[in-house]
Structure 1
Amino acid sequence: MAGGKLSARQKMINLMYLVFIAMLALNMSKEVLSAFGSINEKLAQSNTSFESKNDLALNNLRDKASENDEFAKAASTAQQAAQLSKTFYDYLEAQKNAIYEGNKIEDRKDYESMDKTQYLDETYYKSGKVSAEGQEFLDQMNAYRTGMVALVSESNKGLADQIKNDFSTADIEDSEGIKKDYIGYHFVGFPMVSSITKMTQIQNDIKVVENELLSKLLSGNLKELAKLDNYETVMTTSKGAYYTGSTFDGVLSLGRVDASTKPSRVELKLDGRAIPQDKISYDGGKLVLGVNTGGVGDHDITGTLVYLQDGKEVPVDVKQSFTTINKPNSAIIAADKMNVVYRGVQNPMTITFAGVDDSKVRASGTGLNPVKGSKYVMSPGKGKEVTINVTATLPDGGGTVSDKATFRIKDIPRPVGTMRNDDSGSLKMTREAVGAAPVGAALPDFDFELNLKVNSFKFKAPGAATVLVQGNKLNDAARNALKKVRRGDVVQIFDIKAKIQGNSTYNLRKISPVLIELTN
């Protein structure tokens, strides 16, 4: 019952609804209401059956999660899908209960009494448009669809397309070619038993999708992943490059790294020379190399890792590389948002030394404070410049290196006055809007987002005395002056006083005024 290309199963369900809707148009009979109830019961039975199957499949994946990373990843995907499904399923169940209670239905199998339409008509729809409750229904379905598609789109495009179609909330054209929103098309004007059956059918779609995903994870995908043919060698290192004369600690491994994947034989070369066996060790299924990094430049590791599979040797080719660079002699110091630092704000900065761990780097400067790792904040005081000094301790006993950088200090730019968040400085507004709208201050071209609070301003109307206003809205005196202004006249808001929230000690530059032409 959704927009877009529909599956065969969805087309069958839509056809069923069209038949019943046609019968409704010919006068709703008790038999039709009972028929809806019968369909609802069968869908509910199917949901119970699917729930048992899905729980069993999910438990199987959880049990296998400890066998290898592929099963662990599949179990994680399955758990996320189960949680998404449960959240939406439980929401629909709560909505059905609300319909029963809203219509005061005590016997939930007395379908012949479930012919009223008012509850959802008034709950999901108000004043000719979707209500907050109706929008929540759409938001729940959208969240489920988006979350499930994100989980399955890469591994199962067909299932992802099915989810997009079955749980689409797009507008729909009725049989007369009139476009309706999802809520109006499916729930407005229908007897309550029809709406309950529709929600049970959506619950059934949820269970079907979850079952198809779990079946896929347990069958073909994992069997294919378990073959060594599908593995590639992966090299991980503790850093991106190495100093000359240091030890290269690269780790070569397959995608699956448990102890069962330890190779039976290793034949590797570094730049064409065989790597001695005493330079090779193991961490579970991972192969650890302890070779000298050599001179500056690129270095190739080639050869073969031989694995046993079903009693036969299976060779896996190795072709990896790493780069050796000289030790650094300068720091990298950068202001994250600009090439200057501003007085009155917390300026975020990143300070690192190439190839050196952040814990071995020390930075100092007036107003500089560490946050975490390479992150700092600078709160400059007086003066026009600030210098940051950096010292780093090199690994492997390489001594220390230092550097420094100087930044210009600037004040926060001049703010501009605003009305209705308009910072143009010249506006056209109604008399009522001027009297009610708050006066604000903004920094439209500033890289930092600062909250400016207006404490006072002056108001000048033609032919009237200037009024001092405390706060950010016109007071009684200013509104009285405003009443005498004619259409087309211009009133002024000037001498605006504001402070930065969280930093009341900083004095902002003079704030530009606001000119307002009255339109009535």
Structure 2
Amino acid sequence: MAGGKLSARQKMINLMYLVFIAMLALQMGKEVLSAFGSINAKLDRANNSFNTKNDLALNDLKKKAGENEEFAAAAVTAQSASELSKTLYDFLGAQKEMIFTGNNVKDREDFESMDKTSFLDERYHRGGKVSPEGQQLLDQMDTYRNGMIALIGDSNKDLADQIAADFATDDITDSEGKTQDYISYHFVGFPMVSSITKMTQMQNDIKVVENELLSKLLSGNLKELASIDNYETVMTTSKGAYYTGSTFDGVLSLGRVDASTKPSRVDLKLDGRPISADKVSYDGGKLVLGVNTGGVGDHNITGSLFYPQDGKEIEVKVDQKFTTINKPNSATIAADKMNVVYRGVQNPMTITFAGVADSKVKASGNGLTPAGGSKYTMSPGKGKEVTINVSATLPDGGGTVSDNATFRIKDIPRPVGTMRNDDSGAMKMTREAVGGAPVGATLPDFDFDLNLRVKSFKFKAPGSATVLVQGNKLNQQAKNALRKAKRGSSVQIFEIQAEIQGNSTYKLRRISPVIIELSN
């Protein structure tokens, strides 16, 4: 990005890109995908503009090559730089095209659909290491970086250092001390719109470097020019994040960013707590904060920057805000036909609102009870449906938002009778086993583990009257009827009455009977 020597427009674009990279680490919602697409489009327009400017500058140098030896040498350097730049620029363009075609993207402006990560994950990084395709990208970057630095030599150390930094392919250690290879850090796990924007940004860096080199070569020397290049646009907003449908109120202004404007003293606070000196670094005249984003919600950076002027310090007040939102850690997957809650049981539910802390979310519905944080239980009553209404207070002071979901209410399925935990409904047993085994009831393949207790049942043996039994085992009268039954005949246990332990008021559906063939 050529340090503090970029055009005002370019530096604004770079700043916006870095802001949205930070947003990606926090929350990859549809709004952020659209934002990346918007940045990518702006970078593409900037790159097209640079293409025209750089071609004109290169042609001018070629025309001036006959004027003196300095311009002749400059033209040779410029041509070599142009060829190096074009090689990497075109390679990145081919990679972006490969991403689009590989993901079968039909509408290249539908950025919200470009959320898949698997294509580049599998193409650039396989088996826990960089793939040959990923290595090809690194090799192209290495060739460009080394070639450009060799061309520049000692004539512009700042530009050479910037190229070395912007196109470095070394392993990267993140803020948590974890070391990753370049491909993992920049491309693995990122939505494809982010990867495309990253490549467009690299193309933009190439064009910016080429433009700066051509400009200095065209001037006839490589001395730093004191000009508007030492300034960049600064965007001030009232919020750190914006929601769909709200009004963006950003204010753009010019700010000087060369090293001469580095503050002599910094006194800043984050949410009222002092920011320590080890969290502050400098990029030319720009102050870079490396503070933790904190919890979900709004955060304020306040305090002052002090600049030397005429032998004294000039205080510049700071009052900025940013918003932290939850980092995505799970997908939302719903079976559209399975929005069901069951009557007679405690249905566990998780209710959240994307980007909003659980404490700022309120949910209500008939039978809904909070269980702490985002957890709730639903015990539906009468009726066929229940609607849950959810409202959330937005973290940026933007008011409240609401949503709702309707669930069908179903009764507990019909239980089946069991003997010795056999729920087949027809079995073969000895009469001794029938006389001593308990009669049970169960709900096979039901998602809730309910403990059903049998209260009574009827027993019928061939040639004997039906016996009503209280409890879950044959009484003496039933055993007498069982003894009279012949070998090979079938006895029946039916009209089984049971209840849910802990919820005896719920009336279960009729329980299926058990038929037993006597084996002796």
Shorter-chain TM-score range: 0.3 to 0.5
Q: Normalised by the size of structure 1, how large is the TM-score?
A: 0.40
